[in-house]
Structure formats: C-alpha cells, structure tokens
C-alpha cells in the first residue's frame, strides 16, 4: 500500500520558487539524462566522488528518511526544488524537479515495496485517488497511467523509485530518462540536497530499553524497564 506523503504540496512549488529567488539544489540541475531509448535499469550514475555513507545516513535519518531511499536524478532543463525535499510515508524519500523555462514539473518518490505484474494495476500512480491504473512493462521498470497522471516506476532492492508527472506536463520520454538516471547522490549532490545533520545526530537506529526481548514488542512499563 502506498502511504500518504508528508511533503510540500506540489502545486505550491512554482510560487515558492519565485518568492524564494528560485532556490534550487545542484543535484540534477540541467544535467543530461540518458537517452529515452535506453533501458530503465542500471546502477548508480553519480559522476563525482561518492558521498560518505555515515554523512548520508546522518543527514537522511535527521529527516526521518532511510539512507537507501535517497536518490537524485537528472533531466535537461529541470532542477531540484529544495523546498520539496522531505520524507515520504514512513521512511521514504520525496523531491520535485521543476523547469523554469516550461514550468513543467515532476516528482521523485522512493518507498519500500516492489512492483509486479500482479500488484502494478492495484498500486496508485503518485498520490492518486483511485482511478484505474494501466501498466506497461518497459525494460526493468513500468510505465503507468491513471487519470491525468503518468509515471515510470523502477523496482530496486526492497524499494521502488517512481518518477511522476501530469500527463500534459513532462513527456513520457522525460520521465523514462529521469528514471534511468536515478542514482544515490555523490558528495556534491548530497551537500546540495540534504541539510547537515544536527550535532550528535545518530547514524543508526536508537535501541529502546523498554521493549521486551520476547512477545509482541509492546513497551514494558514496569519500574526500571528503561534502566
């Protein structure tokens, strides 16, 4: 089940971009995405030095995002709208890309799960409201449409990367190329994409002392349970 996103409403992005002096992150800004006739599968495509894993983990977890869900992409003429970067659902990732020239925009979602021939028609497009979904297998991913929205969705190890836009906005080829170009950020992209973690932020999940080692995992409220 696709969960609701705790992100900035996309319709506000053009107004914020204007009022904030077109504040954009360097990640994905006017970079050449792979050709539209290539497959949507592949590995990370960052061209700079790899981001430090501990730094990525600290920055992501400070926002409630699982580090493995942080991706950037590139599409000619599009750049990240920094105001859109945030958590999606439980620990997923969301950001939006905006074109100053055409005012077109698309969103990037990453969340846990997978897409198969069986569940693809049952999984909503973007944050859709129940319209019938059509699915077309395309390389390692799926091209999907519902109502006035369309997307490319690419399953990876335990999560799905989705590039979503209005059907009358970014063309199918743009979404496909952005899906192919999606990769974990390199050091420069991470600096532009996510704010620094607060001092002393944890990079690993915090273990709670009030959870019993057996049973259904309900907190133990006995005196002294938390040490």
CB under 8 Å, gap of 24 or more: what pairs does 120-128 form?
Answer: 120/144, 120/153, 123/2, 124/2, 125/149, 125/150, 125/151, 125/164, 126/151, 126/162, 126/164, 127/2, 127/4, 127/5
Rounded CA gap, 47 and 23, in Å? 23
Report the pLDDT value the prediction gives residue 48, as an integer from 0 to 100: 84
Residues 66-106 have pLDDT tens digits of: 999 999 999 999 999 999 999 999 999 999 999 999 999 99
pLDDT in tens for each of the 227 residues of the chain? Answer: 334 444 444 433 443 333 333 344 444 444 333 333 334 444 446 678 989 999 999 999 999 999 999 999 999 999 999 999 999 999 999 999 999 999 999 999 999 999 999 999 999 998 777 789 999 999 999 999 999 999 999 999 999 999 999 999 999 999 999 999 999 999 999 999 999 999 766 555 544 344 454 444 444 444 444 44
Report the pLDDT value the prediction gives residue 204, as an integer from 0 to 100: 54
Report the pLDDT value the prediction gives residue 51, as an integer from 0 to 100: 94
Report the pLDDT value the prediction gives residue 203, as an integer from 0 to 100: 52
Domain spans, the chain? 10-193
pTM: 0.72
Report the pLDDT value the prediction gives residue 169, as an integer from 0 to 100: 92
Rounded CA gap, 129 and 135, in Å? 17
């Amino acid at each position: 089940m696709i969960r609701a996103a705790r992100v900035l409403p996309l319709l506000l992005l053009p107004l914020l971009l204007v009022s904030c002096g077109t504040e954009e992150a360097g990640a994905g800004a006017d970079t050449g995405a792979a050709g539209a006739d290539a497959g949507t599968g592949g590995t990370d495509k960052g061209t700079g030095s790899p981001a430090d894993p501990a730094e990525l983990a600290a920055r992501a977890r400070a926002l409630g995002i699982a580090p493995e869900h942080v991706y950037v992409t590139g599409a000619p003429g599009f750049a990240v709208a920094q105001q859109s970067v945030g958590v999606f659902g439980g620990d997923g990732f969301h950001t939006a890309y905006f074109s100053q020239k055409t005012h077109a925009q698309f969103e990037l979602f990453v969340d846990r799960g997978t897409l198969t021939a069986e569940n693809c028609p049952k999984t909503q497009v973007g944050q859709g409201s129940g319209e019938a979904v059509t699915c077309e297998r395309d390389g390692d991913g799926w091209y999907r449409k519902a109502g006035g929205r369309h997307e490319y969705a690419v399953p990876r190890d335990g999560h799905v990367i989705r590039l979503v836009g209005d059907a009358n906005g970014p063309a199918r080829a743009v979404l496909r190329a952005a899906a192919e170009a999606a990769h974990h950020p390199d050091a420069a992209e991470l600096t532009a994409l996510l704010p620094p973690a607060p001092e002393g932020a944890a990079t690993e999940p915090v273990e709670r002392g009030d959870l019993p080692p057996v049973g259904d995992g309900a907190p133990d409220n006995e005196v002294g349970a938390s040490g």
